[in-house]
Amino acid sequence: MGRFVDKDKIRRWRKRGFYSENALVKLLYKHGFNAVRVPVSNPSLNPLPDVMARKGLHIYAFEVKNASYYAYFPKQQIEKLFRFLEEIIPLENQYKHAVLAAHLGKKWIFKKLEWKGWEKKKLPEKVRILKRDRGNMNLQDEAK
């Protein structure tokens, strides 16, 4: 017997991610960013973020998760953000930002990642953001 795949459950899960990505784009626009959702229908190995944004000279690559209480970001997804910024964006690293965005209910938590972890090949195996955590990035304060 084959495994049962709940296609409706998968569809709802993907719709949740799509909703959060679009909500983030709107939130970024509200705070003066130019932003687009990257329409990649599969979690491929291509180094593409979920959302790209620009404010002034600064470029942001976002990995977005929608969850209730905590969001996990595996190393592979973190690597994709840095690969995208390194391989595609021809700017100095001080202008390029890899950001994890956890959409937890009505709350957004943003965690900007440091380049030194990527450069020293010491990225964490995974990053977990809990609903009670405080992020290290405030949209109002970015690229002023």
Please state, rounded to an integer, the average pLDDT across all residues of the chain.
Answer: 88
Backbone φ and ψ for 7, nearest 5 degrees, come out as -65, -30
- Range of 106's domain? 7-137
Backbone φ and ψ for 54, nearest 5 degrees, come out as -140, 140
pLDDT recorded at residue 141: 85
Q: Which of 3-17, 25-39, 61-75 has the lowest mean pLDDT?
A: 3-17
pLDDT recorded at residue 55: 96
| CATH of residue 51 | 3.40.1350.10
pLDDT recorded at residue 19: 83
Instruction: Report pLDDT digits (tens) over 36-82.
Output: 998 875 556 678 999 999 999 999 999 999 988 989 999 999 999 99
* pLDDT for residue 100 is more than 70: yes
Beta strands across the sheet bearing 107-113: 34-37, 51-55, 58-67, 96-104, 107-113
Q: What is the pTM of this model?
A: 0.87
Q: Which amino acid is at 61?
A: A
Top mean pLDDT of 65-79, 88-102, 128-142 is at: 88-102
What is the distance between the alpha carbons of residues 60 and 79, in angstroms, rounded to a whole number?
A: 14
* pLDDT for residue 15 is more than 60: no
In a domain, 144, yes or no: no
* pLDDT for residue 130 is more than 80: yes
In a domain, 142, yes or no: no
In a domain, 54, yes or no: yes
Split into its structural domains, the chain has a count of 1
Angle at 136 between CA 135 and CA 142, to 5 degrees: 115
Token representation of residue 135: 């992020």
